[in-house]
Structure 1
Amino acid sequence: MLKVKDVMSTEIITLKPEDTLKTARGIMHLARIRHVPIVDHEKRFCGLITHRDILLATVSKLAGIDRETQQEIDAGIPIKEVMRKDAQWISEETDITRAAEILLKNKYGCLPVVRKEHLVGIITEADFIMLAIQLLNTREPDQQTASA
């Protein structure tokens, strides 16, 4: 059976709790990602910040705040004020089916992968889509020979 370690991404963009919302917003935009794990200086997992968390912390456009002012506000808010400190994480030895069930049941977009308090990877919806494509591609030749 496949384990999380077989599918997870190990090249992870991370931020520190003292980084700002402006930094998080910029990283997410540049890397085209929606989730960033937060780690301390020893790479211990501290939490998670999502695109939704940033949106919730943003002043409403109805307030008439321009983009420059919003960036100034974001530059003064440390991630630790907004991040999810109780973010669920999983072990790299977790069965991939169990990880998928957790994502689906809780409507998460990702699960950080932690070993002895340290972040070692992340598994995202995109990882599951890539896995599904690989599995479908390996099944197609079998189906073609069965119908011949």
Structure 2
Amino acid sequence: MTIKTIMTSDVLTMKPDVPFEKVQEVMRKVPFHHILVADDNKKLLGVISDRDLMSQVSKYISDNNGESFTDFLPRLSAADIMTADPVTIDQDTPIDAASILLLEKNFSCLPVVNSTGHIDGIVTWKDLLKYYVYH
């Protein structure tokens, strides 16, 4: 069985110039933990996870040189916090292969793209767990 059968096709994407505060606001409102960053043609540029947001907060705390948090955040955009050029898979990737990749690389999701790098969907560790539990 392939990833196509369990992936989420309707994914939320953002442009790289979206401000950090907007990314944070969206992430609070949605029931998932990953946002794909794409250009105007839906070509994948990166992935933002809830952990990426937290790492920016941690970075501010450790690198703070007297700058206020409210001054620091507006300087950041989705491009600043995303994981650029993430590892991807295609729709025909076997589910077992995607599972091994997530485990070995300690990823929480894999963007699903076509041969030109355009987004087809996303598969997360929860999608894989549901597959193994219910099939």
TM-score category of the 2 structures, normalised to the smaller one: 0.7 to 0.9
Aligned counterpart, 1:41? 40
Q: Which residue of 2 aligns with 1:76?
A: 75
Aligned partner of 2:87 in structure 1 is 88
Corresponding position of 1:105 = 104
TM-score normalized by the length of structure 2: 0.86
Match of residue 26 from structure 2? 27
5+ residue gaps, structure 1, are 136-148
Instruction: Tell me how far 1:72 sits from its aligned partner.
Output: 5.3
Q: How far apart, in 2, do the equivalents of 1:124 and 1:8 lie?
A: 8
1:2-34 residue CA offsets vs partner (Å, 9 max, x unmatched): 101111001111111001111111111111322
Specify the code of the residue in structure 1 equivalent to 2:108: G
Name the counterpart of 1:128: 128
The 3 A distance-change label for structure 1 pair 103 and 71 is: farther
The 2-side partners of 1:13 and 1:56 are apart by 21
Give the letter aligned to residue 40 of structure 2: H
Q: Which portions of structure 1, spanning 4 or more consecutive aligned residues, are displaced by more than 3 angstroms?
A: 69-73
The alignment covers a number of residue pairs equal to 130
Unaligned residue ranges in structure 2 (runs of 5+) = none
SS of match in other structure, 1:36: strand
Matching residue's letter, 1:34: H
Report which stretch shifted further, 15-24 or 69-78.
Answer: 69-78
Aligned-CA RMSD value: 2.0
Letter of the structure 1 residue corresponding to residue 89 of structure 2: I
Deviation, 1:117, is 1.2
Letter of the 2:112 partner, please give it. V
